[in-house]
Structure 1
Amino acid sequence: MLFSDIPVIKDLPVGKIMYDHLFFPNLAFTVNKPITLNVLPYLHPETYLDYAKYGSGTVGYCLAEVMQYINVNVTNSSNPHPGAADIELMVTGGSVVSDLGFWSRRYLNIPQKLYDTLWKPFEFVPIFMVVPVLLHPKSKGYMTLLSKDPKESPLFFPNYFSDPENHDINTFIGSIRETQRIIKSPALQKYGAKIVDIPIPGCEKHGFDTDEYWECSLRTIMSSIYHQTTTCKMGPNTDPEAVVNPKLQVYGVKNLRVADVSIAPDTISGHPMATAYMIGEKMSDILKALYSL
């Protein structure tokens, strides 16, 4: 999108590439014992007082109790770092119904009607989720300005599952199969772990648990983990996609640098928080060296 009344200092491909970590929020399992997150404590004021006084209790519960990084060996060609994990499995002791859909349904952008069909039957039922996160998507999105007003949020076009080879879908399906293998382990079968098999509306025709069913499901229910990167890619001045140089300076714009995960030239094999810290520390070192007396 171009705005003719915005003067152009340097024409750079800002926002022309955007990667995001997306995840599938509908891989849930019931168990035969109340070992999962219970919503009832959240209804009592004492729960919040305990957390305020002692920093403990249900409010301090970690949403991701277990994280496993795997390479499903399906789409290595989409992984910029061969051998690195292409999927993260986050195991949470709750699910979309743990808060009766009050917050999580909205966070995941799940329509109320869909929630009522898929999740509402499991309110107050012991249930947990395994959440596959795609670490190295081959699909590329982009972002652009909404207007010339800097206070207005930009427009995001993630283009999920747009790669023509279907690598991203196949990687997700591989992660679901690996999750099913783990669920069959004695440790989880001790609790009678069983997949929730209510079919997603519109996908019933494929037959539950077929690859076609999971592809339909993935294209129906998908959420962002809000790890957008690479909109201000770092690279040499010979790279037509580069926006900043290795010193985080924006090409062609004096005294302007970018110091966040938007400069990441590739997707990241994990959550970008540590990468953001590293970039900030590097920026600090650069500035201290530049301005030290």
Structure 2
Amino acid sequence: MSSAGTQEVKKNLTCTEGGSITLPDPLVESGFLLYGGKNIAFVTDRRSQIWKDSFRDRLLWNNNTGLFTITGLQRDDSGIYTIERKGGGVASYQLSVYEAAPTPGVNRSRVSADSCTLVCSVEKAHETTLCWIKGEEILNQTSTGPSLPLTVDKQDFNSSYRCVAANPAADEKTLPVNVKTFCSEENNTDETSENNRQFGTLLIAIVVFLIVISVIIIGIYFERQKRKRDRRSQDSIKREGEVVYTDVFTTDERNRQGGNLSDPSPAVEGSNLTTVYDKLEVHRMALTDTDTVENV
């Protein structure tokens, strides 16, 4: 049904994601539209039918002009599109879909008494070119890259400058730059103050970090000391709870105490009990007058 595989690409087409593209060659009577060598739509009797589901709501055909338009372009829509007319005639296109150009930003990198250096940059540099423009004159340009510097002499501070970021599909983002404002002493003071604030914040963070570390170290030290005291206290309690036995030596005073003490009961076998006696003394009472007369 198609000989598109043998056809050479006629023209390169570029577009940005989310945009739309119209294929230049019309298909009025009957024929096919192919993508990557596969039929995705056909036209017959001035009516079109879409075969590919991914293009069903995005591929439009104008029955007056016979032109195909693809809307809502995505990166994976890139490829070769071919129009084949019934009875002869083939037109092929290489379509490339790119990301939208990012918005550039400008920063000041250096200021001196007679010049100022500005840097234009983008976050996503893939397939993006940067250029500095003074009035209508392109001063410098990158093929691809994340940043592009520009040094402006003091006598040109009042000139009009702009930084432009563009993709291969000619999608551009422009940022006008007032060099005099960017490079003024007031701005320099603000930048210095900002740097000082950042340094102060960093210094405070370091001090807080050191304090936290010190508190942790001191806490660990006192915790270890407490554990040591607890272990010593437990060891002391264990030692106090131990019972120490020793032999008891007694002196037999029974003969000197009148010899009238009965023998102690025999020790119970297996007992360590020992009977200890106190020393007995005779109590002498003082004589009264009555006792003396009676005795006489």
- TM superposition score normalised by structure 1: 0.20
- Bigger Rg, which one: 2
- TM superposition score normalised by structure 2: 0.20
Between structures 1 and 2, the one with greater strand share: 2
Q: Considering Cα pairs closer than 8 Å and 6+ residues apart, tell me whether 1 or 2 has the greater RCO.
A: 1
